[in-house]
């Protein structure tokens, strides 16, 4: 089974801890990268504008409530960049946020997941996305 | 028929003109007063003139008759001797002398046999001239005869029957003794024409005087009438002006009753205007106050809305921000259970279970709060929907969740309401959920939904035969987190009815509950009915009519 490259964008230390723990419990190998806010995530995914372009992960798990640039803003930026337009992005949130979730749906989020992440939820998500 | 019709118009026109004049006299006070006064002057003048002229004429005629009679008598006396002597020359002189009397037209002296001896007639130039004796004296007796405008006076000339000489006659005194014998007669014709001439000129003068009097009288009366009617006209104009909403001051021309009337009118107009000005001032002040009040209401409303928005926003964020740490807590509980579940004592595992239970409660409360705030914030999108179908669907879901329970659900079909689907769904979920929950300890639970007539309108009701509650606490029903049962009796957050109440209120409806402990609860609520669909025929009847 091929190793899955996942970028987790999460500002909360506890959530990062629980997510990392859940990834380790998965039956398949996952290489987890962490970005602690939206700006860091964009720097990682878009690079500094000079070639070569950075290697993209197979999947981005994006927290909705981030300081400064929130999840939907980051998703909008990624969707407007031709290099990252097709990148699957899953929105993670601790509760329903109808307006923001609607916006993400319109922006083409690949899926939604309720925090905290655990192994069962991740397995289900990967199965749905077929990654 | 036609002849009559033809002859009618002139008559009608004449009648019309007369009636117009009569109408204007009747309509104008001035004309009425003037006409009456003029008629009175004319009548008085006429009576005076007729009386005066008649009287004058009679006295003149009497004078003429007296003169004529005297002249005839004098002539007869003078002519006695000459007639006795048959002295025609003397008779002529006597007749000429008689003609000196003004008004005498002719003098004739007759002899005993009634033959005219001397006749003197006034010619056209006024001088007396002898005329041939033609006509015989009509009578030898004294008398008076009128012919046209002449009066004839006859007087016999008599002398004593015993006189034989002229001298006898000189000393004779008439009728003292002895018989008298006729010697002849005289006739004097007096002319009435001068009287008539004078009368005519007098009539003319009288008429002239009357006319002048009428003119002067009318002038004077006109002045008086004008003094009465002009202020009346001013008054009428003033009243019309005030009636038309304007202001008017009329001149006060005198200090009499009419002047007083004009002054009173002016005072009244001033009073009316004063009152109107006061009223306008008051209205202006009220409008100003209203405007200021409205502005303040707008300001306050805006402030309240802003505060409300902030509060809602805070509540919403708070419910979300509470949820995230709760989820983390849940996550760590799960991790603890997974990692150390086997090594923990039974007691510790029980603590862990209780922690997760508490966390679940908190999650439910937060979810309920979140729903409550969403219900308040969501923008309404009302549309017609089948409430009966919604209730049936919710009841079916509940029944699926607890297949062991047997609850009889009765739903009146096709109850259509106009509401926001999502909000109404949330509300009905809570309401039907409550009915389901509170019939859990009832044998043969029954839930029924339908419509009823309450308080002058059709309302919906949802009735159950469950636990019910004491109506003494009904005031707390719609306050969030207020519960009327212990958690071990019936679980819940205490937010459900608050959500239902807010949804109904946001749709402009009302809601109330009727219940009794152990005998179930009925929840009544009203929702606006759907507006009747516009049919094409009703909307455009004219176009249809034209096409037809």
pLDDT digits (tens, 9 = 90+) for B254-282: 888 888 888 898 999 899 889 999 999 99
**β pairing state of B407-411 and B382-386:** unpaired
CA-wise closest residue to B67 among B158, B186, B156, B189: B189
Amino acid B281: pLDDT: 96
pLDDT of residue B487: 76
Chain B: give the shortest CA distance to residue A53, in Å: 35
- How far is Cα B2 from Cα B11, in angstroms, rounded to an integer? 15
pLDDT level of residue B5 (50, 70, 90 thresholds): very low
pLDDT value at B517 more than 90: no
C-alpha B179/C-alpha B300 separation (Å) is: 148
Q: Which residue has the higher pLDDT, A1 or B211?
A: B211
Non-local (6+) Cβ contacts of B426 within 8 A are B371, B375, B499, B503
Q: Does B233 fall in a domain?
A: yes
**Using a CB-CB distance cutoff of 8 angstroms, which residues of chain B are in contact with residue A23?**
none
**Strand spans (E) along B161-309:** 180-191
What is residue B536's predicted lDDT score, i.e. its pLDDT?
44
Angle at the Cα of B314 (from B370 to B375), degrees rounded to 5?
35
Asked if B331 and A118 come within 8 Å (Cβ–Cβ), the reply is yes
B42 is a domain residue: yes
List the beta bridge partners of residue B464: B447, B521
pLDDT score of B431 = 92
**Which residues, other chains included, contact B480 with Cβ-Cβ below 8 Å and sequence gap of 6+?**
B369, B372, B494, B495, B498
Whether B370 sits inside 8 A of A96 (CB atoms) is yes
Checking if the pLDDT of A20 tops 90, the result is yes
**Dihedral angle sign, alpha carbons of residues B480, B484, B490, B496:** negative
Mean predicted confidence (pLDDT) in B445-465: 91
Q: Is the pLDDT assigned to residue A108 strictly greater than 60? A: yes
B133: closest CA among B155, B99, B158, B110? B110
Using 50, 70 and 90 to split pLDDT, how confident is the model at B52?
Answer: confident
> What confidence tens digit (pLDDT) does each residue in B286-308 have?
999 999 999 999 999 999 989 98
Residue ending a domain, among B203, B227, B248, is: B248
CATH code (residue B423): 3.30.565.10
Whether residue A94 and residue B320 make contact (CB cut-off 8 A), yes or no, is yes
Indicate the helix (H) or strand (E) that contains A5: strand A4-9
pLDDT at B537 over 50: no
For chain B, give the percent of residues with pLDDT over 70. Answer: 86
Which of B9-13, B251-255, B423-427 is predicted with the least confidence, judged by mean pLDDT? B9-13
Residues on chain B touching A66 (C-beta within 8 angstroms): none
The pLDDT of residue B262? 87
Identify whether B85 is part of a domain.
Answer: yes
Phi, psi of A52 (to 5 degrees): -80, 150
CA distance A119 to A46: 29
* Same domain for B387 and B243: no
Distances (CA, A) of B546 to B425, B535, B539, B540, B543: 47, 18, 14, 10, 5
pLDDT digits (tens, 9 = 90+) for B176-193: 556 778 888 888 888 888
pLDDT digits (tens, 9 = 90+) for A59-74: 999 998 888 888 889 9
Q: In sequence order, which residues have a C-beta less than 8 Å from that of residue A110 and are 6 or more positions away?
A: A59, A88, A89, A90, A129
| Domain edge (last residue) among B248, B274, B290 | B248
Contacts A122 to B, Cβ<8 Å: none
State the pLDDT at residue B146: 82
E strand map for B114-192: 116-122, 128-130, 143-147, 150-160, 180-191
Domain-embedded: residue B312: no
Query: How far is Cα B106 from Cα B528, in angstroms, rounded to an integer?
Result: 131
Determine the Cα–Cα distance for residues B546 and B388; give it in Å rounded to an integer.
Answer: 43
**pLDDT greater than 50 at residue A126:** yes
Query: Is the residue at B69 inside a domain?
Result: yes
With a cut of 50, say whether residue B34 has pLDDT above it. Answer: yes
Residue identified by tokens 């908190």 is B362
Residue labelled with tokens 């005076």: B48
Average of pLDDT values for B126-151?
63
Last residue of a domain, one of B224, B248, B272: B248
The pLDDT of residue B177 is: 53
Mean per-residue pLDDT over chain B, rounded: 82
Question: Which range of residues forms the domain containing residue B157?
Answer: 26-161+179-248
Q: Which residues contact B35 (CB under 8 A, 6 or more apart)?
A: B25
8 A C-beta contact, residue A64 and residue A70 = yes
Those residues of chain B whose CB sits closer than 8 Å to some CB in chain A are 319-320, 323-324, 327-328, 330-332, 334-335, 366, 370, 374
Interface touch A116/B330, C-beta < 8 Å? yes
Q: Is residue B264 part of a domain?
A: no
What three-state secondary structure class fits B95? helix
What pLDDT score does B210 carry?
84
Q: Report pLDDT digits (tens) over B500-511.
A: 999 999 998 999
Contacts by residues B384-387 (CB-CB < 8 Å, ≥ 24 positions apart): B384/B416, B384/B417, B384/B418, B384/B530, B385/B416, B385/B417, B385/B418, B385/B419, B385/B421, B385/B424, B386/B414, B386/B415, B386/B416, B387/B415, B387/B416, B387/B417, B387/B419, B387/B424, B387/B428, B387/B449, B387/B460, B387/B527
Where does the pLDDT of residue B446 fall: very low under 50, low under 70, confident under 90, or very high at 90 and above? very high
Q: pLDDT band at B147, cuts 50/70/90? A: confident
What's the number of domains chain B is made of? 2
Q: Is A90 or B479 the better-scoring residue by pLDDT?
A: A90
* Pairwise CB contact (< 8 Å): A118 & B327: no
CB B216, CB B189: distance < 8 Å: no
What structural domains does chain A harbor? 4-129 (3.40.50.2300)
Q: How many CB atoms lie within 10 A of CB B526?
A: 19
**Stronger pLDDT, B390 or A52, i.e. the higher one:** B390
DSSP H helices in B341-386: 346-377
- What CATH number is associated with residue B46? 3.30.450.20
Nearest by CB to residue B328, choosing from A18, A65, A97, is A18
Q: Residue B530 pLDDT more than 90?
A: no
Give the H or E element holding residue B111: strand B104-111
**pLDDT at position B131:** 53
pLDDT in tens, B70-110: 888 888 888 888 888 888 888 888 888 888 888 888 888 88
Q: Quick one: pLDDT at residue B172?
A: 59
Q: Computed from CA positions of residues B37, B39, B42, B43, in that sequence, does the dihedral angle turn out positive or negative?
A: negative
CA–CA separation, B498 vs B481, rounded Å? 8
Contacts of B519 by beta carbon, 8 Å cutoff, 6+ apart: B465, B468
Mean pLDDT throughout B218-237? Answer: 83
Residue B510: inside a domain, yes or no?
Answer: yes
CB distance from A16 to chain B under 8 Å?
no
- CA gap B376, B506 in Å, rounded: 8
Is any Cβ of chain B less than 8 angstroms from the Cβ of A121? no
Provide mean pLDDT across the span B335-339.
87
Which residues in B291-300 are b (16+ Cβ under 10 Å) and which e?
Answer: eeeeeeeeee
Residue pair A10/A36 in contact (Cβ under 8 Å)? The answer is yes
pLDDT band at B126 (very low <50, low <70, confident <90, very high): low
- In which band, very low, low, confident or very high, does the pLDDT at B527 lie, cut at 50, 70 and 90? confident
Going by pLDDT thresholds of 50, 70 and 90, the confidence category of residue B372 is confident
Report the pLDDT value the prediction gives residue B88, as an integer from 0 to 100: 86
User: What one-character-per-residue DSSP string does A106-130 give?
Assistant: HTT-SEEEESSP-HHHHHHHHHHHT
Q: Which residues of A touch B323 (CB under 8 A)?
A: 94-95
- Average the pLDDT over each of A22-26, B131-135, B314-318 and give the range with the smallest value: B131-135
Distance, CA of B226 to CA of B233 (rounded, Å): 10
* Torsion over CA: B206, B211, B212, B218 (sign): positive
Of the partner residues B323, B330, B331, the one whose CB lies closest to the CB of residue A95: B323
Q: What is the pLDDT at residue B12?
A: 60
Whether the CB of A81 is below 8 Å from some CB of chain B: the reply is no
* Whether pLDDT at B389 is above 90: yes
The predicted structure's pLDDT at residue B26: 65
DSSP E strands: which ranges in B387-532?
407-411, 416-420, 445-454, 457-464, 511-515, 521-525
Q: What percent of chain B has pLDDT over 90?
A: 19
pLDDT greater at residue B167 or residue B66: B66
Q: Are B99 and B122 in contact (CB under 8 A)?
A: yes
Q: How are strands ordered across the β-sheet holding A30-35?
A: A30-35, A4-9, A59-63, A89-93, A111-114
Distance CA B146, CA B196 (A): 15
| Interchain CB distance below 8 Å, B328 and A96 | no
Separation in Å, CA of B318 to nearest CA in chain A: 12
Q: In whole angstroms, what is the distance from residue B74 CA to residue B83 CA?
A: 14
Asked whether residue B61 is domain-assigned, the answer is yes
B14-28, B74-88, B147-161, B367-381: range with lowest mean pLDDT: B14-28
pLDDT digits (tens, 9 = 90+) for B56-71: 889 988 988 898 888 8
Instruction: Provide the pLDDT for residue B84.
Output: 83
- More confident of the two residues B180 and B548: B180
**pLDDT single digits (tens) B153-165:** 888 888 777 777 7
pLDDT band (50, 70, 90) for residue B113: confident
**Nearest residue to A8 via CA among A87, A76, A89, A94:** A89
Q: How far apart are CA B452 and CA B461, in angstroms?
A: 7
């Amino acid at each position: 089974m091929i190793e899955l490259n996942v970028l987790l964008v999460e500002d909360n230390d506890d959530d990062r801890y629980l997510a990392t723990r859940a990834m380790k419990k998965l039956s398949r190998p996952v290489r987890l990268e962490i970005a602690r806010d939206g700006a860091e995530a964009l720097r990682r995914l878009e690079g500094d504008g000079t070639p070569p372009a950075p290697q993209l992960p197979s999947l981005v798990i994006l927290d909705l409530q981030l300081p400064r640039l929130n999840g939907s803003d980051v998703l909008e930026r990624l969707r407007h960049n031709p290099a990252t337009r097709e990148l699957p992005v899953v929105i993670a949130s601790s509760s329903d946020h109808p307006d923001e979730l609607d916006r993400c749906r319109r922006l083409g989020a690949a899926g939604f997941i309720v925090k905290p992440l655990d192994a069962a939820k991740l397995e289900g998500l990967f199965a749905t996305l077929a990654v | 028929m036609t002849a009559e019709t033809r002859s009618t118009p002139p008559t009608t026109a004449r009648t019309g003109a007369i009636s117009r004049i009569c109408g204007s006299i009747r309509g104008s006070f001035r004309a009425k007063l003037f006409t009456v006064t003029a008629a009175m002057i004319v009548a008085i003048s006429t009576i005076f003139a007729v009386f005066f002229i008649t009287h004058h004429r009679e006295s003149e005629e009497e004078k003429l008759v007296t003169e004529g009679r005297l002249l005839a008598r004098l002539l007869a006396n003078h002519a006695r001797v000459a007639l006795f002597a048959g002295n025609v020359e003397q008779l002529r002189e006597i007749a000429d002398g008689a003609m000196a009397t003004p008004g005498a037209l002719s003098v004739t002296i007759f002899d005993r046999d009634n033959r005219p001896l001397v006749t003197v007639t006034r010619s056209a130039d006024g001088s007396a001239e002898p005329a041939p004796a033609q006509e015989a004296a009509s009578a030898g007796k004294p008398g008076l005869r009128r012919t046209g405008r002449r009066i004839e006076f006859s007087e016999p000339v008599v002398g004593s029957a015993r006189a034989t000489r002229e001298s006898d006659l000189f000393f004779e005194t008439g009728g003292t003794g002895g018989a008298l014998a006729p010697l002849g007669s005289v006739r004097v014709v007096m002319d009435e024409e001068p009287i008539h001439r004078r009368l005519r000129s007098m009539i003319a003068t009288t008429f002239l005087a009357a006319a002048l009097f009428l003119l002067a009288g009318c002038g004077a009366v006109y002045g008086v009438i004008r003094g009465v009617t002009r202020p009346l006209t001013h008054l009428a104009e003033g009243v019309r002006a005030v009636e038309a909403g304007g202001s008017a001051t009329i001149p006060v021309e005198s200090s009499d009753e009419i002047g007083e009337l004009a002054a009173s009118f002016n005072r009244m107009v001033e009073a009316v205007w004063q009152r109107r000005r006061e009223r306008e001032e008051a209205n202006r002040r009220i409008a100003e106050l209203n405007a200021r009040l409205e502005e303040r209401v707008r300001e306050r409303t805006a402030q309240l809305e802003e505060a409300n928005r902030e509060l809602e926003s805070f509540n919403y964020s708070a419910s979300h921000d509470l949820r995230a740490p709760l989820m983390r807590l849940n996550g760590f509980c799960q991790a603890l259970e997974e990692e150390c579940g086997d090594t923990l004592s039974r007691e510790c595992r029980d603590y862990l279970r209780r922690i997760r239970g508490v966390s679940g409660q908190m999650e439910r409360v937060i979810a309920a709060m979140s729903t409550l705030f969403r219900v308040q914030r969501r923008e309404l999108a009302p549309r017609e929907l089948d409430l009966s179908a919604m209730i049936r669907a919710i009841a079916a879901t509940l029944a699926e969740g607890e297949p062991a329970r047997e609850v009889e659900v009765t739903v009146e079909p096709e109850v259509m309401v106009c509401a926001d689907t999502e909000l109404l769904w949330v509300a009905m979920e809570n309401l039907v959920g409550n009915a389901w929950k509170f019939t859990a300890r009832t044998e043969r639970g029954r839930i029924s939904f339908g419509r009823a007539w309450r308080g002058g309108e059709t309302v919906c009701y949802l009735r159950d035969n469950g636990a019910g509650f004491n109506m003494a606490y009904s005031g707390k029903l719609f306050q969030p987190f207020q519960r009327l049962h212990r958690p071990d009796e019936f679980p819940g957050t205490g937010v459900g009815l608050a959500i239902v109440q807010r949804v109904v209120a946001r749709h402009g409806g009302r809601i109330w509950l009727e219940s009794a402990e152990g005998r179930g609860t009925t929840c009544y609520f009203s929702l606006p009915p759907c507006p009747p669909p516009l049919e094409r025929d009703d909307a455009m009847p004219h176009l249809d009519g034209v096409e037809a």
